[in-house]
Amino acid sequence: MLEGRLRRLVKRPGGGKGGARRPRSMITKDLAAIDKVDEYLKRVTVCRRVALLNFFGERYARGGKCGNCDVCVGSASAHVDLAS
């Protein structure tokens, strides 16, 4: 699965600029970002627009649902294939 490959790439020694070892704090930050993307893709009960706005510290003025994203129109799937 692509998520596993991303995690291995982030953890790989010498993955920094010029082959330098990356600081553990940077690796932890990158792994947390992968987790956030994975959670966003797999969550099929929260409006995508609301989730994105919340991530950036904003609020959706019209309430809890946009009515346009895959979650709101009912076509969201809990199965996400990151490889395709």
Question: What is the average pLDDT across 29-52?
Answer: 88
Residue 13 lies in a domain: yes
Pairwise CA distance, residues 34 & 83, whole Å: 14
Residue 20 lies in a domain: yes
Residue 79 lies in a domain: no
Range of the domain at 7: 2-42
Q: Which two tokens stand for residue 35?
A: 């987790």
Say how many domains are in the chain.
Answer: 1
Position 47 scores a pLDDT of: 92
The highest-confidence range among 1-15, 26-40, 68-82, by mean pLDDT, is 26-40
Q: What is the pTM of this model?
A: 0.63
CB-CB contact of 47 with 64 (8 Å): yes
